[in-house]
Homo-oligomer: A and B are copies of this chain.
Amino acid sequence: MSHSTRCAACKSLRRRCTKDCVLAPYFPPTNPQRFACVHKIFGASNITKMLEQLPLHLRAVAADCMSFEASSRVEDPVYGSVGIISQLQEQIIEAQSELVKTKSEIAFHNAQQQL
């Protein structure tokens, strides 16, 4: 088997990439950065274990989510993906308070019209 056919994980871990490699479908050699990132944060053996515990049809989504989580933590080593959650929660609070304000304006308009 030539080097170029090994997946990003096996290439990085300098091992043979067998036909039943759990990581190969989700970590192609064309994107070594994607594997490097999850490897740094979760570790190759944890990623393998987590994927193995899932049915085949859910593994691609799980690998995508783990990649997103890992790259969030590489970008923001303190908050990671939790930083994004906090930002979104603030945005929701903002949008909801604007909604309350706008609805009270409508109520005021309606009251004026009735007068």
B-contacting residues of A (Cβ < 8 Å)? 40-43, 45-46, 50, 53-54, 58, 61-62, 65-66, 68-69, 73, 77-85, 88-89, 91-92, 95-96, 98-99, 102-103, 105-106, 109-110, 113
Contacts and interface: CB of A to CB of B under 8 A. Distances in A.
Nearest to A63: B78
B78 A61 contact: yes
Give chain A's interface secondary structure class.
helix
23 contacts: A42-B42, A42-B46, A43-B43, A43-B45, A43-B46, A54-B78, A58-B78, A61-B79, A62-B77, A65-B80, A69-B73, A81-B81, A81-B85, A85-B85, A85-B88, A92-B92, A95-B99, A102-B102, A102-B103, A102-B106, A106-B106, A106-B109, A109-B110
Contacts of A77: 50, 53-54, 62
Contact of A105 (B73, B91, B106): B106
A7 to B, nearest CB: 21
Given A43-B45, A65-B83, 9 more contacts: A42-B46, A65-B80, A66-B80, A69-B69, A88-B88, A102-B106, A109-B110, A109-B113, A113-B113
